[in-house]
A and B are shown apart, each in its own frame.
Chain A
Amino acid sequence: MEKQYKTIGEEAWKNNTEKINAELFIFTYGSLVVQLVKDYEDYTAVNKQLDKMGYNIGVRLVDDMMARTSLERCSGFSATAEVIAKIGFKLFLNVVPTVTNWSADAKEFSLILDDNPLNDFCELPPKAVTDGLWYSNVLCGVIRGALEMMQMQTEVVYVRDVLRGDDVSEIRVKLVRMLDEEVPASDD
């Protein structure tokens, strides 16, 4: 099953995606974060906004991904994790994070990103580091939004980030509960 996901992801990346210049994307995201920082002046608020934006992106993005890859229903939460890493991230960012650190009840896992393309060229000012800015927090929102569309309520947070001095970036995904055919609450 794992090998299949990997090939599905790579095929979809090669054939079904339109590509844009990476630097354009990176600089756009960079100016977005800097503008948010200037507007809110509080790094926790910026993190929250990035998460909200990511959520709105995620709820739409997941349908796009399903359309391109014609995947079937996942057999369980671990399959979901593999799909996120090998297909979702591959399709949109062309990186494949590693899925590790499963909790004992198999409801939490970590995505380890060795290299996050959004971070290229970026260096956080010291104040941003001490006040807790997660630069790529939008990714957490995207995962949360996508999974909510798939009827899973999750909490997704950043725990380590290379921009803050850690050696890898780590996102922790926790399944809170499965939703039963409700309309998901949108928080805007």
Chain B
Amino acid sequence: MSSTYYFAIVGTNDSPLYETELGVQRDESKYLNQFIVHAALDLVDDAQFMSTACYLKTIDRYNDWNVSAYVTPSNTRLMLLHETKADDAIRLFFTDCHELYLKTLLNPFYEPNTPIQSQAFDIKVNMLAKKYLF
């Protein structure tokens, strides 16, 4: 049973700062992933005022895909597309990704709301995914 995930960090102007596909990929859904996440952003906006927590759990469903969201205090959204339900693991994954994102922000050469291109960031996200999601 191969599980696939699509993880994206969306900035305050709704453009993606970082995207990655984790696990085995099925070709047909690559463009669909971006579309699903984008459509779910409105629901994130609604849901974030219902709760004081950062982790918003699953806010949307599209066919087989669940969309989970985590909103940082600076209104950057961490979105995860997943098929299996795993609230706790996903929460831990989001928390650690948030810390990674904070470290990126602390880099003086990084401009907030620009795409994150660091290789080191990419490697670490993949390691976290391996740790929590697989």
Which residues of A come within 8 Å of B, CB atoms? 27, 30-31, 33-34, 37, 121-125, 128
CA–CA, A122 and B118, complex, Å: 12
CA–CA, A37 and B118, complex, Å: 19
A166 to chain B, nearest CB (A): 16
Which residues of B come within 8 Å of A, CB atoms? 103, 106-110, 118, 120
CA–CA, A79 and B65, complex, Å: 68
In the complex, residue of chain B having the shortest beta-carbon distance to the beta carbon of A29: B108
Q: Pull 9 A–B residue pairs with CB atoms less than 8 Å apart, ordered by A.
A: A27-B106, A27-B108, A30-B107, A30-B109, A122-B108, A122-B109, A123-B110, A123-B118, A125-B109
Per DSSP, chain A at the interface is: helix
In the complex, residue of chain A having the shortest beta-carbon distance to the beta carbon of B109: A125
CA–CA, A185 and B40, complex, Å: 65
B31 to chain A, nearest CB (A): 28
* A34 partner, pick from B103, B106, B108, beta carbons under 8 A: B108
Which residues of chain A are within 8 angstroms of B118 by Cβ–Cβ distance? 123
CA–CA, A122 and B104, complex, Å: 9
CA–CA, A30 and B109, complex, Å: 8
Among A34, A123, A125, chain B packs the most CB atoms within 10 A around the CB of A123
A121/B109 in contact, CB under 8 A: no
Which residues of chain B are within 8 angstroms of A128 by Cβ–Cβ distance? 109
CA–CA, A34 and B109, complex, Å: 6
In the complex, residue of chain A having the shortest beta-carbon distance to the beta carbon of B105: A121
CA–CA, A78 and B108, complex, Å: 36
A sample of 20 more A-B contacts (CB under 8 A), given A33-B108, A123-B118, is A27-B108, A30-B108, A31-B108, A34-B108, A34-B109, A37-B109, A121-B103, A121-B106, A121-B107, A121-B108, A122-B107, A122-B108, A122-B109, A123-B107, A123-B109, A123-B110, A123-B120, A124-B109, A125-B109, A128-B109
CA–CA, A122 and B103, complex, Å: 9
CA–CA, A33 and B118, complex, Å: 19
